[in-house]
């Protein structure tokens, strides 16, 4: 099957406009093959932002990307427009450090993190290991600070930490993020699950009321306020000094120190919370979401 010009243009645009692109089966939240799932987990370990393309929803791209790259299988990872390869190559590059280098991520110095696990948590882990009679416990903390415990038959050259007789295996990035981590078992109506208390994770997004924001503005504080609404919405009503969320604002935010105070708002507070959470995952530590958005501002400040 030859690559048609329309599909080639779509692929070129994806590669030209995104530093990291993964052509995969399924989505990051629901991968549809084991190789895609493994590659996603690897990228999540190192970075928080990349483009994924579900080839199952785009048959032309599914076949076209194979012609484009002269690579017969999916997934396919590209960095800076260059083909890296499939899952096997991605895993080899992760172990060698080449993947982190290509992504611009520093490889941590190998450390032995201090981790605590509640007694009932240790007990349930021991029971799981005895029931499986194979494999090791793997801890992974992603670049976006999600925590996951799983059984892995091939921990490789990962770091091993003994906690109460339980051996936890982890990669260097997880080990760096795990120092001081506390794990406790919590039971509710849905069953038992681990709660992770990680002092290294960025603090949660704060909520700011319209009244507090108004007081800050009236006091003359230099405030970075971002409006994530559509341009048409901003034309109808806006808070003086708010920056629209566009490429210029993205570049400006990237130039700031990670502890800079940033306040975000939308219409009712949902979309702004999403952006704030995304910035938090990228390491920003002083984020505020305007509770109730411009609707709350209008009701409390413009039309009290």
What's the CATH code of the domain at 93? 3.40.30.10
Average pLDDT, the chain: 92
What's the CATH code of the domain at 182? 2.60.300.12
95 plus 14 within the same structural domain:
yes
Nearest Cα to Cα of residue 141 among 274, 52, 48, 75: 48
CB-based burial of residue 134 (10 Å sphere; 0-12 exposed, 13-18 middle, 19+ buried)? Answer: exposed
Residues near 151 by beta carbon (within 8 Å), at least 6 away in sequence = 128, 129, 132, 135, 136, 137, 138
10 plus 48 within the same structural domain:
yes
Does a structural domain hold residue 134?
yes
211 plus 187 within the same structural domain:
no
79 plus 97 within the same structural domain:
yes
Does a structural domain hold residue 157?
yes
Query: Which domain range does residue 215 map to?
Result: 206-302
96 plus 143 within the same structural domain:
no
CB-based burial of residue 78 (10 Å sphere; 0-12 exposed, 13-18 middle, 19+ buried)? Answer: buried
238 plus 290 within the same structural domain:
yes
Does a structural domain hold residue 38?
yes
What's the CATH code of the domain at 249? 3.40.250.10
71 plus 120 within the same structural domain:
no
CB-based burial of residue 63 (10 Å sphere; 0-12 exposed, 13-18 middle, 19+ buried)? Answer: middle
25 plus 49 within the same structural domain:
yes
Which tokens sit at 188? 């509710």
Tens-digit pLDDT profile for residues 149-173: 988 876 666 799 999 999 999 999 9
Q: Output the CA torsion 76→80→82→84 (10° steps).
A: -50
Domain final residue, candidates 71, 103, 135 = 103
Tens-digit pLDDT profile for residues 210-265: 999 999 999 988 899 999 999 989 988 999 999 999 999 999 999 999 999 999 99
- The reported pLDDT for the residue numbered 2 is 67
- The reported pLDDT for the residue numbered 190 is 80
**DSSP label of 4:** P
pLDDT level of residue 54 (50, 70, 90 thresholds): very high
Domain count, the chain: 3
Domain final residue, candidates 138, 167, 197 = 197
Hey, which residues does 262 pair with through a beta bridge?
Answer: 287
Q: Where are the alpha helices (DSSP H) in the chain?
A: 5-17, 34-46, 59-69, 87-96, 98-103, 119-132, 172-178, 210-218, 231-236, 247-254, 270-281, 293-297
Which tokens sit at 69? 């790259």
Which tokens sit at 235? 């034309």
- What mean pLDDT do residues 48-60 have? 93
210 plus 289 within the same structural domain:
yes
- The reported pLDDT for the residue numbered 214 is 94
Domain final residue, candidates 43, 76, 103 = 103
Does a structural domain hold residue 108?
no
């Amino acid at each position: 099957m030859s690559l048609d010009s329309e599909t080639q243009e779509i692929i070129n645009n994806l590669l030209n406009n995104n530093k990291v692109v993964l052509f995969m089966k399924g989505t990051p939240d629901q991968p549809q093959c084991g190789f895609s799932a493994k590659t996603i987990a690897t990228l999540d370990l190192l970075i928080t932002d990349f483009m994924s393309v579900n080839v199952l929803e785009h048959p032309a791209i599914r076949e076209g990307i194979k012609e484009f790259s002269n690579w017969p299988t999916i997934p396919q990872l590209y960095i800076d427009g260059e083909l890296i390869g499939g899952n096997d190559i991605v895993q080899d590059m992760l172990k060698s450090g080449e993947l982190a280098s290509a992504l611009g991520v520093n490889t941590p110095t190998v450390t032995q993190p201090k981790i605590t696990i509640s007694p009932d948590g240790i007990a349930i882990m021991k029971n799981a290991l005895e029931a499986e009679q194979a494999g090791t416990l793997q801890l992974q903390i992603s670049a976006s600070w999600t925590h996951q415990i799983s059984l892995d038959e091939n921990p490789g050259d990962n770091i091993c930490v003994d906690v109460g007789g339980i051996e936890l295996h982890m990669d260097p990035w997880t080990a760096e993020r795990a120092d001081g981590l506390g794990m406790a078992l919590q039971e509710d109506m849905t069953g038992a699950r681990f709660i992770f208390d990680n002092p290294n994770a960025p603090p949660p997004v704060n909520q700011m009321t319209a009244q507090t924001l108004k007081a800050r503005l009236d006091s003359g504080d230099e405030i970075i306020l971002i409006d994530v609404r559509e341009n048409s919405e901003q034309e109808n009503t806006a808070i003086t000094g708010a920056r629209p969320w566009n490429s210029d604002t993205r570049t400006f935010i990237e130039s700031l120190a990670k502890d800079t105070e940033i306040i975000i708002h939308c219409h009712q507070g949902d979309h702004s919370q999403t952006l704030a959470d995304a910035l938090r995952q990228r390491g920003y530590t002083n984020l505020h979401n305007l509770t109730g958005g411009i609707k709350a501002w209008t009701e409390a400040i413009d039309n009290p």
